[in-house]
Copies of this chain bind each other. A is one copy, B any other.
Amino acid sequence: MGSVDAEVAVGLSARVTDALRSFLAARRDELVAIGTELAPIGEQLTSFLLEGGKRLRPAFAYWGWRGAGGTDSDDAVYAVAALELVQASALIHDDLMDGSDTRRGQPSIHRRFERLHRESGWQGPPAAFGSAAAILLGDLCLTWADQMLFGSGLPTDALGRAKPVYDTMRTELMSGQYLDVLGQVRDHHSVAWSLRVARQKSARYTIERPLHLGGALAGASTGLLASYSGYGLPLGEAFQLRDDILGVFGDPLVTGKPAGDDLREGKRTVLIALTLERASTAQARVVLERLGDAGLDDAGVAVMREIIAETGALVETERMIAARAAEAVRAIEGAEVVGEARGALRDLAEAATSRTV
């Protein structure tokens, strides 16, 4: 069984992509049946969902399912693949809110439709059309997500158990996004605030709730769900802390985003909060001046990187990641998970925190 499960782990991402491909092909046909003018919606969403994405949330949900005794099946993969549609909705709307030009190395959705407008020679401002399209495409992904999950073919009682988790997850996602936006407009630069947003936005939404969703589908015990939290929450914080570092120090060739994009967007990350907490007055002034400057160039990014490293904030963030990853692994060692799930979740903890993209 070991070798079968190893193959499952390796092939899971491809199977999630296949499930999405099949689901999206059916939606594309529906759209074109309504009107051929809708073809670009199907095309752009297919490209957005199939040409990128780490499939991390489906992986956690899948192993949450397996760890609670669920057996491998295409229906289960189809169900957890729906989380990629929730994430696509969040990314499309997030890129619009942040005014981000790119995502996964490609133009963001509002930019793609801005270009469609321009190339078609339509009337009015292209940016307004791009924004409207991005709002509607994000909405569509959000509704398609539950269409995919609840149309997965898993038994009704399993889906019924998962529904409250799914509802909670989505409310927490929108809440985390709102707190994130709020952090950028309010004078909240504390480490505590940034950690709270990270917990809300990433720890719960990216890891804990996908695990719970998979667990609930398989009828997990309360004890196992608690173990999933014990693993998911610290790991989710570590995941977000890694994201913070990549947002400043990540290689644009690998991340698909311009270097230091988080700085230009003025994100109030734990990394920045730690930097400001430890910075000299002169250093803090430089950071606050440049944070959120949309025109920040490579030299400006380099100066910021230097300060973040010099204050020790970078090392401290790495230390926090390591401590949380270790806590997560300890929690899963002690959990009553079934079969190969323990090893898979250990591997996922490693993958989520040491990633370069």
> Does A140 sit within 8 A of B, measured CB to CB?
yes
Encode A71-106 as 1/0 by CB contact (under 8 A) with B: 000000000000000000100010011000000000
> Does A231 sit within 8 A of B, measured CB to CB?
no
A33 CB, nearest partner CB in chain B, Å: 10
Known: A131-B97, A138-B139, A139-B93. A122 touches B38 (CB 8 A): no
| A contact face: mostly helix, strand, loop, or mixed | helix
A166 to B163, CA, bound (A): 16
> Does A54 sit within 8 A of B, measured CB to CB?
no
Instruction: Check A133–B181 contact: CB distance below 8 A.
Output: yes
Instruction: Check A140–B171 contact: CB distance below 8 A.
Output: yes
**Contact with A27, one of B27, B124, B171 (Cβ below 8 angstroms):** B171
> Does A172 sit within 8 A of B, measured CB to CB?
yes
**Contact with A139, one of B30, B124, B142, B186 (Cβ below 8 angstroms):** B142
Q: Which residues 230-256 of A sit at the B interface, judged by CB distance below 8 A?
A: none
> Does A192 sit within 8 A of B, measured CB to CB?
no
Encode A156-181 as 1/0 by CB contact (under 8 A) with B: 10001001000100111011011101
| Interchain residue pairs with CB less than 8 A apart (28) | A31-B171, A31-B175, A34-B172, A35-B175, A37-B178, A41-B178, A93-B139, A97-B128, A97-B132, A117-B185, A122-B186, A124-B185, A124-B292, A133-B178, A137-B174, A138-B139, A139-B142, A140-B171, A140-B174, A142-B142, A142-B143, A143-B167, A143-B170, A143-B171, A144-B171, A151-B163, A151-B167, A156-B160
The complex is assembled from copies of this chain, and their number is 2
Instruction: Check B143–A174 contact: CB distance below 8 A.
Output: yes
Instruction: Check B175–A38 contact: CB distance below 8 A.
Output: yes
Encode A109-151 as 1/0 by CB contact (under 8 A) with B: 0000000010010111000110111011111101110110011
> Does A8 sit within 8 A of B, measured CB to CB?
no
> Does A46 sit within 8 A of B, measured CB to CB?
no
**Contact with A171, one of B30, B123, B170 (Cβ below 8 angstroms):** B30
A133 CB, nearest partner CB in chain B, Å: 7
Instruction: Check B135–A179 contact: CB distance below 8 A.
Output: no
A185 CB, nearest partner CB in chain B, Å: 4
Known: A41-B178, A135-B97. A124 touches B184 (CB 8 A): yes
A89 to B142, CA, bound (A): 12
A37 CB, nearest partner CB in chain B, Å: 6
List, in ascending order, chain B residues with CB within 8 A of A167's CB: 143, 147, 151
Instruction: Check A139–B140 contact: CB distance below 8 A.
Output: no
> Does A289 sit within 8 A of B, measured CB to CB?
no
> Does A182 sit within 8 A of B, measured CB to CB?
yes
> Does A200 sit within 8 A of B, measured CB to CB?
yes
A186 to B120, CA, bound (A): 9
A147 to B37, CA, bound (A): 32
